[in-house]
Amino acid sequence: MPTLKIKNLSKTYANGVQALKNVSLDIPTGMFGLLGPNGAGKSTLMRILATLQEADQGQVTFDKLNVLTQKMELRKRLGYLPQSFGVYPKITAETLLNHLAVLKGLTKKSERKEVVAALLHKTNLYADRQKNLGGYSGGMKQRFGIAQALLTNPKLLIVDEPTAGLDPTERNRFYNILSELAENTVVILSTHIVEDVKELCTNMAIINKGEVLMQGNPRHAIEELSGKIYQRTIRKSELADYKKNYRVIADKLLLGEPIIHILSETDPGDGFSRVTAGLEDVYFAHIW
């Protein structure tokens, strides 16, 4: 079973922003969730893994391949769905997918035809395959992106914020496809939606400001927090006071009323009630 090993990876942009600081991760086969807020460095990491960006320092190996130098070899095993991507508006889905398939090395015409057709079915685009991509909705475009990432059976699948803009049905369908693949593939899923990771991933990491704050099994992470999360409803004006007195890891609205979660080893009283810890609490606890 191939694994992806990232060791001390660093990247600083020309404008001085340090996007990755000594990132080290071990990513086994299966779904791996990369969780972090916007601007945490997720996409930079994903692009480096997808051979699209040079790292300043560090090593990345995948199944004995040096990802940073043996780009061509890696690309043969790679499926990549970028965070945002465009399409040629005046070309049909089938044409473009076919074209990409050729470029991936599916040069036998009969085989390619079948694979393209199967993928279009799988992503439910078959009926619209003759339509120009310019007329596709956001969800359809995203599905097209998935179809192209799955071309040629990748051993390493990198999907960057894939569910943005998808409705719940689409999202579920997408996750089904991913989890199916994850049985024998390294799938890295970057997202800022905690739910996604909870539902899918066997392993995860939380990064923020270029640093890995936590990595491991989501269930273990939740267990670590169990019994330490308390919540209460407050008035908006009280928020500042609470933040001063407690370790508030999240404030959100429930039916229009602010509700806060705090992390505490002991029961704080003061109207707080203990709640079952969720992955969201894990996330906030780390990035707060």
Partner 1 sequence: MWYEIFKFELKYRAKRADTYLYFALLFGYALIAVDFIFTENLDPVKRNAPFIIAKTMGIIAALFTMVTSMIMGVAALRDFDHHMSALMFVNPIKKGDYLLGRFLGSFVVLIFIFSSVPIGLILGDFMPWRLAEALLPFDLWRYIHPFLIVVLPNLFFTGAIFFVAGALSRKLLVVYTQGIILLMAYIFSIQWGQGQADGFIPALIDPFFYQAINRGTQFWSTTARNTQMVGLEGVLLCNRLLWIAIGWIVLGIGYYGFSFNVIRNSFLKQQKKATLSNENLQNLSTIKIPEFDLEQGVKSKLIQLKYHSLFYFQTILKEVPFWAIVICGMAIIFINSINLGTTHGVDTFPVTYIIVEELQEMSIFFFLIILIFYSGELVWKERDAKVDGVYDALPVSDSIPLTGKFIGLTLAYLILIGTMIGAGILFQTVNGFYEYELGVYFMGFFVNIFPSLILLTILSFFIQVVVNHKFLGHFVVVTVVLVSMIGLRAFGFDHGLYNFGAGDMGIYSAMNGHGHFLWGYAWFTTYWMAFAIGLFLVATLLSVRGMETNLIKRIRAGRFRLTPRFCKISIDVFLIFLFSGGYIFYNTNILNDYALPSTAAKYQVAYEQTLKKYETLPQPKIVATNLKLELYPEERDYKMEGFYWLTNLAEAPIEAIHVQKIPGTKFDLAELQFSKAGIRKDTFVDFGYYIYSLTEPLLVGDSIKMNFKQNFTTNGFTEGSNTRIVYNGTFFDNMNLPSLGYNHHIELQEERDRKQYGLLPKPTKANRDNPLALKERRKGDDSQFIDFEITIGTAGNQTALAPGTLQKKWTANDRNYFHYKMNAPMINFYPIASAEYEVLHDKWKPKNGLDKPIELEIYYHKGHEYNLDGMMDAMKKSFDYFTKNFSPYPYEQMRIMEVPRYKNRAQSFPTLVAYSESMGFIMDVKADNVDMPFFITAHELAHQWWGLQVAAANVKGQKTVLESLAQYSALMVLKAHYSEEKVREFLKIEEKNYLSARANAKKIEVPLTLVDDQSYIYYRKGSLNLFALQAYISEDSVNLALKRFIRDWNSFDGLRQKERYATTADLLEYFSAVTPDSLQYLIPQLFETVTLFDNKIANAAYEKLNAIEYKVKVKIDMNKFQLDRLGIEKTTALNDWVDVAIYGKEEEVIYHKKYKIKEEMTDLEIVINQQPIKVIIDPNYLQIDKDRKDNERNF
Binding site for partner 1 (CB under 8 A): 14, 47, 50-54, 69, 71-72, 75-76, 78, 80-90, 99-100, 102-108, 111-112, 114-115, 118-119, 121-124, 126-128, 131-132, 134-137, 140, 145, 148, 150, 152-153, 169, 173, 176-177, 180
Q: Which is nearer to partner 1, 180 or 270 (CB)?
A: 180
Q: How far is Cα 58 from Cα 78, in angstroms, rounded to an integer?
A: 20
In the bound state with partner 1, the residue whose beta carbon lies nearer, of 6 and 285, is 6
Least distance in Å: CB of 31 to partner 1?
15
Distance between CA atoms of 243 and 251, rounded to whole angstroms? 10
Considering beta carbons, is residue 108 or 236 the nearer one to partner 1?
108
- Minimum distance from CB of 100 to partner 1 (Å)? 7
**Degrees to nearest 5, angle at CA 169 with 94 and 101:** 20
15 or 273, CB closer to partner 1? 15
276 Cβ partners below 8 Å, 6+ apart? 226, 229
Alpha helices in 24-133 (DSSP H): 42-49, 71-75, 93-104, 109-122
Distance (Å, rounded) from C-alpha 194 to C-alpha 279? 7
Minimal distance in Å, beta carbon 30 to partner 1? 17
Cβ distance 58 to 214 under 8 Å?
A: no
Of residues 85 and 288, the one with the C-beta less far from partner 1: 85
> What is the nearest approach in angstroms of partner 1 to the Cβ of residue 157?
11
